[in-house]
Structure 1
């Protein structure tokens, strides 16, 4: 990945990949700052929102969808469970597997976090401009899909299962 000031296309311009990484880092810093008063990290918030969209995942499935290693997720699951934000239950189809679900307390915390996260996204899209917001989102989806396909061709686990 080219660094700032390195040739990424136009002479002296940063590469697109460098800009994407900068965006990721600033989003992460802002999310951490906004979520800290709620006692959440960005990684915990991500895991909780994944469970909000798709309940009943195993810890390994949640790790993949949250972009974390299973070992990291195991520690996080324990923390989230101790805080009463998630619960683990036996999978009725496979009693050896524990599946995760949000508790009402977890859902309440996500509702409290929503306006904070929405402000960050609104600010990002404000920088893109209202006429280009959907185009920007579509372009990001297209880029993710193209690179996920490349990773799959290389048999690299880069994206969570759909």
Structure 2
């Protein structure tokens, strides 16, 4: 008995795909989060570019301004980066005279990070620019929805706290 011929579901390679379906991926929250993050990150990068900041250096500067005397280990934990990677970030901010790195008198192995006047001024400008970025990106979203998104992201973040850091 002959088997019926199977009709290929996908086009031959030379024909190519005419329309990509991501229907399966759209079942997953993580996929939506990543796509949204890509859009937000691209706009944020453009927002911070005139200030010569990147997302990670902006975040570090804000944390140092808001927490003068913060130790490098505390900053690494707050940013969720490995200490070795933090050195590059701190070097960049210090090299631009935005922060100082001072030895902690009670622990000569630790450094306290403090903002300079230039660092506080740039931080203030950057925070206002990021507020504008958020207004642009989220302007059509009701406050209640924004708060629901923040709560959801916080729940997801707390769920990963039991895990270990990669890298």
TM-score band w.r.t. shorter chain: 0.7 to 0.9
TM-score of the superposed pair, with normalisation by structure 1: 0.77
**Corresponding residue for 2:121?**
108
**Corresponding residue for 1:68?**
81
Residue 139 of structure 1, aligned match among 143, 148, 161: 148
**Corresponding residue for 2:158?**
149
Q: Deviations over 1:43-79 (max 9, x none)?
A: 1111101112222222222122123222221011111
TM-score of the superposed pair, with normalisation by structure 2: 0.75
Cα gap change, 1:60 to 1:6, in 2 (>3 Å) = farther
Gaps in structure 2 of 5+ consecutive residues: 1-20
**Corresponding residue for 1:7?**
24
Q: Count matched residues.
A: 146
Give RMSD over aligned pairs.
Answer: 2.2
Residue 157 of structure 1, CA deviation: 4.3
* 1:44 partnered with 2:57: yes
Q: Which has the larger radius of gyration?
A: 2
Gaps in structure 1 of 5+ consecutive residues: none
